[in-house]
Amino acid sequence: QGQFTLLRDTRTDGSFLVHHFLSFYLRAGCKVCFVALLQSFSHYSIVAQKLGVSLAAAKERGQLVFLEGLKSCLDLLFGEEEQPGQPSPLQFLSGSCRDLRALFDFVRVSLTPADGDSWKGPVLLVDDLSVLLSLGAAPVAVLDFIHYCRVSVCCQLKGNIVVLVHSNEDSEDEENELVVNSLCHHSDLILWAEGLATGFCKDVHGQMKIIKRLSLRQAGEQDVVQIYQYKIQDRNVTFFAPGLSAAVL
């Protein structure tokens, strides 16, 4: 409880981690607010079905609150409101305000327990945060949004936050790297998926660096770093120590 997990990918697609956490928390009986900025609901639903979870059923029973960022952007830009009288969570796109307060209000209202709720705990899942920068949000606004979400979800509601960001150490996108580095400093756990430096391999799809931020909890402690390689299969992901893939053995 109260954990902030950062999913970071470099030279590869780390979305398989988002699908894992989404299905994991829904199966665990948690209330999930999913801010999906990258793909449509049908995309996530198809993958979730392979993992044994129905997103449509989770929405119907009130366990999953889904913000379809692509649809919200179109509705806002073409003057259509999803629910008349209610501001869009992506209100900053209209130029009337530069902060992400409307998006935070959406998250807070979605995860605040209602009378009769029996969910185990609130979870905020964001895929992916880098899209907000591409849509014109300032780095300070994005970091403020995450800060207020951490206070509300992690501290007050004792829930968890999982956020995916794309990064490229050679990139000239200074704003994105600023956000990524800032989030790394405030994360309890970092799952960093990296593409292989040697290029494509059909038996090893990438490398996973797991960083447990013990230094965040207690001064003087060293962070624990574990490195695995992985292969993505149709319904799961296989992890193994570097150099111990099936191709090598």
Containing structural domain, residue 66: 3-79+86-199+215-223
Residue 210 resides in a domain: no
Residue 246 resides in a domain: no
- Please give the average per-residue pLDDT across 124-144, as a whole number: 93
Residue 148 resides in a domain: yes
CB 38 within 8 A of CB 15: yes
Number of separate domains in the chain: 1
Taking CA atoms, 132 is separated from 141, 164, 166, in Å, by: 10, 12, 12
Q: What is the amino acid identity at position 194?
A: E
Q: Is cis: bond before 234, omega within 30 of 0? A: no
Name the residue among 233, 207, 246 with its Cα closest to residue 20. Answer: 233
CATH number of the domain residue 7 falls in: 3.40.50.300
Residue 230 resides in a domain: no
Determine the pLDDT at residue 201: 83
Determine the pLDDT at residue 247: 62
CB 104 within 8 A of CB 150: no
**189-201 pLDDT per residue, tens:** 999 999 988 888 8
Residue 180 resides in a domain: yes
- Please give the average per-residue pLDDT across 147-170, as a whole number: 92
CB 142 within 8 A of CB 149: no
Determine the pLDDT at residue 80: 63
- Please give the average per-residue pLDDT across 159-175, as a whole number: 88
Distance separating alpha carbons of residues 57 and 234, to the nearest angstrom: 22
The answer to whether residue 46 scores a pLDDT higher than 90 is yes
Band (pLDDT 50/70/90 cuts) for residue 172 is: confident
Residue 152 resides in a domain: yes
Distance separating alpha carbons of residues 122 and 193, to the nearest angstrom: 25
Its pTM stands at 0.91
- Give me the chain's average pLDDT, please: 89
Residue 117 resides in a domain: yes
User: What's the token pair of residue 92?
Assistant: 């900053």
Residue 105 resides in a domain: yes
Residue % of the chain over a pLDDT of 70? 95
The answer to whether residue 243 scores a pLDDT higher than 90 is no
